[in-house]
Chains A and B, each alone.
Chain A
Amino acid sequence: MINFNFFVLPFTLGLIYVFLAVGKSWYRWIAALPAIDKVKLTNGLKHPGKIAAALREIFLESLIHRKMWKQNPLLGYMHMSFALGWFLLIILGNIESRYYSGTHLNAPYYPIFLKFFIHDKLVLFFEVYSVPFLFRFFMDFLLIFILSGLVLAFLKRKQSKWFGMKKTTSHHFTDRVAITTLWLIFPMRLLAESYTAGYYGNGGGFMTQPLGNFLVSLTPLPSDFVAYTMWWCYSLVLGIFFVMLPYSRYMHIPTEILLIFFRHCGIQPKKWYSSFSETEVQSCSRCGVCLDDCPMIAAGIQDSQAVYFISGVRDRYVPEEISQKCLVCGRCQEVCPVGISTDSLRLIKRREITSGQASDFRYLTNGHSGKGDVVYFSGCMTHLTPTIILAMKGILTRAGIDFIHLDADGSVCCGRPLMIAGKDRQANELIEFNKTLIRQTQARMLVTSCPICYRVFREEYNLPIRIQHHSQFLLNLIKTGKIPLQGHFSKVAYHDPCDLGRGTKTYEAPRELIGKVADLVNVREEREKAHCCGGSLGMFEASNSQRNLMTKAALDILVENQPETIATSCPLCKKTLGRHASMAVKDIAELVYEAIPRE
């Protein structure tokens, strides 16, 4: 028996279309991967452990939405009810249809519209645990599960605060069409199944049957006609949703699966726009979680956050201002439920804008650098905060370390400020110059006071010697008893610099160090969630007053627990925060230096 009716066509055609469109995109992205990534992918797919790990992450993130749960339980439940509920509905619907058709080869539409084709006999009282009853029970249960998520989605439009979100994203036309059809799918299914159950007087579950009986009693029109219309509507909204999916934000559903596989195979973002970047861009669901956590919101900047930037990349048009209007502090990257490397995408775009700009550093001639065990590189920013240099030199001398201050007569920049503007090629000239200088010292360790330098030394320099930020170095000196400590500060709040914290994941060393010389007070948003001080070199398009607003917002959080001193480990943060703080802002090197008893 062939079960067919013309109303299944919109759904079937939509389904075929979405499979072809997604398949084409997947094929294109995989084919366009750089050769090295292709090798990684094929090797990864031969590795059962990696596949299992990827599948586990797909289950946890794409269906359960674990990171969304962490963000806010209501938000997590809403996403889970749609994703997991729909997934289980498809699985159970398929099993149910196999039970009825008795064959393994069903038309793809058959499970979806099963209740139209099958009107099972009424389940009698003693048959409540029969197979058809259980199927109906769980199918209705899953439908309620999804509809509860739909109710929450409606509520979120009105009361986004309940979902832990102050701001929600504004969407494109295609997104609006897609979300409308998505929201209509399940109410349509409910109505179609209910009317059918009500008309035939059987075949429904614990929800659809009573609802169907009720609706049929209300409707003046012939209810078989209404039911048939509802099936048409159900098929149509499904079909339209499928056709819109590749052109809307819902493309993130199939793309994220591929992205998770890519990541588990060890594929990483490149310095240029690769097809890995494209999968990252398409995986952005535009949920807007990055909006609330962006420090720029404090300055009233609401058009260049990660979600809007990525949306622009996807539409192949990003105004220059949008690319440059970002602190590159990495906070959005920490909260992104998909884990998109937003900073690296931003820098790729900046490279496209500025990489062609000329530079000429031939005026740099190799000077004389002395020799020493430890080479201390203070960095450009530290030259603007000479107290840090004074403290570091004092501590190093006191500890009896054979050190050389590499940039005593002014720094050659480490290269990161150029790189953050997208000028990697130009930065390489400076990197090579500094590398030669450092090599000449024959030191076995490089210590820097600037997190910006520290990050680029670690990521780009490939030096054969140990590299430490001064927080790590000083902690080591104290632990090995090289410097005596006497004084003690009370109530110090620590501000995590972006490049040291999120940039190099150095959270513990500065805190442990402060613990040795002061009482550390808690800060509401710290470590991964720390606010940028507003002085970031990554920002180009913010005015001075906008930067001040960001600094004040960061300070407000720091002073919540009434600290007497604010400590940080970055000269740029010290300088920026110091302008607005009502208490002293000190680098941790200064704290340590002041705690050393004077001879």
Chain B
Amino acid sequence: MKDFGFTVQLDHSIDYDAKDKRMMRYVLYHEPSLDWCIGCGSCTATCSAGQFTLFNIRMAHTLLRRGETEKLKQELKKCMFCGKCQLTCPRGVNLRNVLLRINRAIELFG
């Protein structure tokens, strides 16, 4: 390809009508408390894995909502399951179960 001195960004737009909502529905059905999330980011700030790599629970949540299964799969592998996120959550979201259920959803629908 000819070098024009600039690159073309990949399309990041999400087609909400085409996305796979099964995982999100599965997780929300089994752990409805995820709906209480206000996106404050406490979980991400305290995350054990986040100390070593770019792991971000808030982002995982967003990926789940957007139905970006592939990215979510790669993200979730980094979780050490220590449970600090759940203890700091000001909304009392049952985060360890959310993570467990996303993993189950990946097995079922991924």
| Interfacial residues, chain A to chain B (CB-CB below 8 A) | 320-321, 324, 353-354, 356-361, 363-364, 380-381, 383-384, 409-413, 417-418, 421, 423, 430, 535, 537, 540-545, 572, 575
Instruction: Give the residue of A359, A384, A540, A541 whose beta carbon is less than 8 angstroms from that of B84.
Output: A384
What's the minimum C-beta distance from B12 to chain A, rounded to whole angstroms? 24
Q: Which residues of B contact A540 (CB under 8 A)?
A: 94, 96-97, 100
Interface size bracket, B side: 20 to 34
Is B80 a contact partner of A541 (Cβ separation < 8 A)? Answer: no
Which B residues are CB-close (under 8 A) to A320?
A: 104
Q: Is B82 positioned at the interface, with any CB of A under 8 Å from its CB?
A: yes
Q: Mark B73-94, 1 if CB is under 8 A from A, else 0.
A: 1100111111110011000111
With A324-B97, A356-B107 known as contacts, the answer to whether A413 contacts B82 (CB < 8 A) is yes
**What residues of chain A lie closer than 8 Å to B81, measured between beta carbons?**
413, 417-418, 421, 423
Chain A residues in 8 Å Cβ range of B33? 543-544
Does B100 contact A324, Cβ atoms closer than 8 Å? yes
The 3 closest A-B pairs by CB, nearest first: A544-B92, A410-B51, A363-B53
Count of A-B residue pairs with CB < 8 Å: 88
Given contacts A383-B84, A423-B81, A545-B92, 6 further A-B contacts (CB under 8 A): A384-B87, A410-B52, A417-B81, A421-B96, A535-B87, A544-B33
The answer to whether A413 and B78 have CB atoms under 8 Å apart is: no
| Bound CA span A359–B82, Å | 14
CB <8 Å contact, A380 and B84:
yes
Residues of B within 8 A of A (CB): 30, 33, 46, 48-49, 51-53, 73-74, 77-84, 87-88, 92-94, 96-97, 100, 103-104, 106-107
* Min distance, Cβ B42 to any Cβ of chain A, angstroms: 11
Q: Is the interface of B mostly helix, strand, loop or mixed?
A: helix
Q: Which residues does chain A contribute within 8 Å of B51, judged by CB atoms?
A: 409-410
Give the Cβ gap from B54 to chain A, nearest Cβ, in Å.
Answer: 9
The residues of B that contact A543 with a CB separation of less than 8 Å are 33, 92, 94
Most buried by B among A321, A364, A423, A540: A540
Q: A354, A360, A412, A542: which contacts B100 (Cβ < 8 A)? A: A354
- Name the one of B73, B80, B103 contacting A417, with C-beta atoms under 8 angstroms: B80
Contact of A412 among B80, B87, B88, B97 (CB under 8 A): B80
| Contacting pair B94 A384 (CB below 8 A) | no
Are A359 and B79 in contact, CB atoms less than 8 angstroms apart? yes
Min distance, Cβ B56 to any Cβ of chain A, angstroms:
13
Which residues of A sit under 8 angstroms from B107, Cβ to Cβ? 356-357
